[in-house]
Every structure is written in structure tokens, then in C-alpha cells.
Structure 1
Amino acid sequence: MPMQTITFEDYKNAIKAKYEEEKNGEYSNNLNSPTAANLRNLCVKRFDTNNNQDDLIAFKSFFDFPFDRNKKNLFGEDELNKLEAVKRFFLGKTENPAEDTIQLAAILVDLQPRPFNEYRKQHSEEERKLIEELRDTTLPKKETSINTFIDKIEDDDNPKIEEVEQTQSLESEIAPIPIATFVATGKPTKSRMIIYAVVTAFSAGLAIMIYFAFFQKQCMQWSNDHYEKVSCDLEVNGLGSFNVVEPFDKTVFDLKKIKVCDTTPFFNTNGEAIVWYGKTANGIDFFNGHGRHPENNSPLRPVTRYILNKYVKK
């Protein structure tokens, strides 16, 4: 069975599974009851001898300051409040945690490999690209037959041909394309050569249409406030990194930059953020989901009352 593409959802599930395992491990006293204070203590233990640059970057991204062994006891109320998000993730009380939350959770349970970009490399790049190209690729459901055309030619010239397979159909899934095959009982005729030429031309044209209709648009590119499917051969015009053509990723494709105002719903009924923001040189942008800012690769974070009071006009 072919390997499937590792998604961010797979990564989250792996972290939760590792959490269930670690609850009975060396740090069970911190994880069996994952209060903010217990997670703070575990965080200090994990980072005290940790020199992994990805982990240190994740720490700074989550807490907004770098880890300092000499100031490890200076976790204040704000830091404890941030760790509540990790607690809710471990306990399954949040559906869409921020990426920063996921990355710190992976460190606390010591998931290997990490971060997500390393975790997804368990499959080869070639295999993942092939899966992405073939995923969701279907042919039109309309049935096409060449019998009528062939029968007309045969009636005109009346060749001695036994038809072995008559019908060629396009089904709704990619499959080998059957081609009508004939066994001649007499000398080759002009009509038989025409039939072969028609079948060959039809098959070649069909293959070209399938290629340009499906496989040439299995990449995506950020366009102003949303992603668009584009050809993987598209040349990038412009110097901004957000113009980069990327392999199509369903987990990222629906991300959109949104405009907000004081009447925009920012939280669900449980008080959890449903709008995310990312910092830019000119302020912040708002998005409909978590991930990274497509234009500067900064992590997107769930909105807070402080951010709304500071940036959203009333």
C-alpha cells in the first residue's frame, strides 16, 4: 500500500499519543495533571540542557522571549496563562490550537522527530509529491464511445474484421485506457488503417487533455489574500518570497487573509479564538486559520483582547 502524505493533523495526533505514553514515564508527575504550573516546571527541565535550535526558536515564538537558564524561575502570570493553551491541547479541549502551542507541546513530550517539517520527512520527497499529484485527481464522468464512428467506416468498406473489444469508455477514476482491438481475417484494408489512426489520435488527445487539466495545476501560490492553484511550471514574477510556487497542500490551501471590524466574531461560545493574526512591518494581518503568514513566514497566533483593543478600530 502506498504511503500517505504526513499532514499537520497527523503531527498533532502523534503528539497526543506521545502525551498518553509520557504520562506514565519519567515526568508523570508533571503530565498526569498538566496544570500550567506543572507544565512550567517541565518546560524548565526540558530546556535546561537543550541546545536544539529548532526547540529554542519554538520557545521564543511561544513566550515572546528567549530561554535563559539564569532566569528560568521568572515565569510570570502571563507565561502561565499561555501554558493553559498547551494544557487544553493535551486534554483534548481545543480543536484548533495555534502552531506555537503544537510545537511547544511536541517538545514537552519529547516527540521525535520534530518540528513538523522534520516529522513529515519520514516519507521521501518523491513519494509525497506523487501522492499530492494523484490525490483528488479524477477524470470526467461523461462516457465517450468511438463505436459509432468505427461502425460507419466498416459499413462503407465491408472489411472482414472480427471485433474483439468494441467499447472504449472513460470512467470516473484514472485507469488504463482500453483501446479497441481487431483481428483481421483478410488482407489489410484502407478502412482498418483509418480506424487505427482514429483510435491512436483520440487516445493521444485524451492523454494531453488530462495532463493539462489536472497535473499542470497541482501547485499553489499566495495571491494577495488567498492561495490559488497554479501550474508547477509557473515562473515567479517579483522578488517577494510570498510569490513562491509551492506543492499543493490541502491543509494550507484554505488559509485566507480577512478584514475585521468591531462586529467581527473573534471567539466561539467556549471563548476560544477563531481568528488568528500575524505581525508585519506595518502592523498586523488577520487570518481565518492558524499556520504561518504566507508573506513573511511568521507564526500566526490566536487573537487576544489586548490585540483587538490595540489594532481593531471601534
Structure 2
Amino acid sequence: MKKNTLDDYKQAIQAKYEEDKSGDYSSFLINPSRAKLRDLCTIHYKENGNPVDFAIFRNFFGFEFEEDNSKELKKQTDKFRPLETFFKGETDLTDISAVDLAAVLVNYNPRPLNRFIKVNGIKTEASIEENTSYTIVDKSTDFTTEEKKKEPIISHDHPSKRTVALQSTLAQIQHKTISVKQMFKILILFVIILVSAYGMKELIVPEKQCMQWQNDHYEIVDCSSTTQGIGAINEIKPIIEEELKLKKIEVSLQTPFFQKNKAAVWYCKKDNKIEYFNEAGYHPENGKPLKPISQYIITKYIKE
């Protein structure tokens, strides 16, 4: 029997990626970028993380995932470049930890690689049960007399071989046989109904789980929204609570620039113009880190 290989694993992940491009996370996968894959990674680990996936995260990044370390993850954005080019079919992945993280991003199972290889050729419980039938017996049947008929029968044709058989009067037992395949079809139909109902809900009242920079602040929007408002050039990305509070502000010499000897205003240069913000973070349009205000900047750029 042919064993699964690393190439088989990568091909399976690529196939799952092509399938997921039209799924719930299509906005991240249709044209994947390093930033989009980083944001999708954050969503997965906040919502669906499990011990195996956390180990994959640790092996790839070298530190544990925590919900409040989004800034640390932002610093690792360039590490998503090999995954971006892998999904686009431009390059191959040689780092196994990167291949496993790619499996996480498209939710491919079985993962990681060692598990993918081990399951090959093993007859799982699901495959065993597929050919198994379950019998539902009519409780009104009297088994008292039937048990007496289950006497061993010795074959006289071959005295040297004692063949034992059990006789049963199954014709008298009211039963129904439901195969696993039939049960599986019923389950699939039920899942389709649930998914359809959920899809209708999302279509009528889409749940807003993303945010987009609008002029001077972030607004909560639907992740699949095509109406991008004022900030049409700004990407829609998953909600990050720390960034959601960020606002661009106007300042003057009367603005309280410091509190307890610490900066209360941050700035960044965009198109040769200084822009000011109420919190630390990254510029929502060009991605540059915001710098704390200094007396030099106040003296040079801020006038009455």
C-alpha cells in the first residue's frame, strides 16, 4: 500500500484552499496577502484553536499564541510571505512547520504532517461502520421458546469435524435494518438544512465581525461587504479591539500632549504631512508604526 508523503500533504492542502476560496473566509483567500493571512490566522486561533494547532503556532513562530499578543504577531507579518506564494502556486513550501500552518489556515484535516502520514492505510472506525447494519428488534417478540431452539447441531457428514451452528427463527422477529450509509445521508441532509438556514440569516441580517478605517476612525462592518464607504481604499479586516479605539485627531498648542510625563498623542507622516492619533499603534492606511509626540515635533509642526 502506497504511503502518504509530504507532497501528498501539500497537494491536499492546496485542494482544500481552492475549495475554501469560495467559503466563509473568501475575502482572505481569493487574493491572499501576508496581512490577510496574518489576520485569518488570528481569527482561527481566537475562535477554533486546539492543542494541536497551538503547537503548530509555537513551532512556526517560536512563541505561544495569546489573544493580547496581536502586536507581536504583526511584527511577524513577513513570515506569511512563503504561505502567500504557496497558495498562489508561485513557490513550494519546504519548511514543515509552514506547511502545517497552511493546513490550519484552510482548516485541512488530518493535520499535522505526522498524523496525515499515520492515518494512511489504517481502517478507521468510520470505514468499519460503513458496512455495518443496526437491527431494531420488536420488543413484543417472545424469545423464551426461541432460545431453546438454539441447540448445537453436529454435522454427521464429517464426524471428525464437529460443526456447531445456531438456529434462529429470524422470520418471526419484527426488525428494521438501517445501514450506516442511510444514516449518513440523513445526517448530511440535516446539516444542509442548518447551513441553509444560517446562510439566510447571514443574508438578511449579516453579522458584523470586521472593521474598516473610515476617514478618521474605524467602523464595524460586515466582513463580506462590498460597500466600503468613504475609505474605499482601506481594506476590511477582522475586529481587533485595541485598534478599534484608534482615532485621528486635530491638535493645537492647547492640546494636552502629555499625561504624567508620558505621551498622550501619537503621530505619523503621510504624504509629507503630519497626522495625529489618540493612541499608539499603526497608521491605518500605510501600516507605519505611530510615534509618541515629542516637544521637538510640537515646536516644529504645531502652531496656534
Higher-Rg member (1/2): 2
Name the TM-score class by shorter chain.
0.3 to 0.5
TM-score (norm 1): 0.37
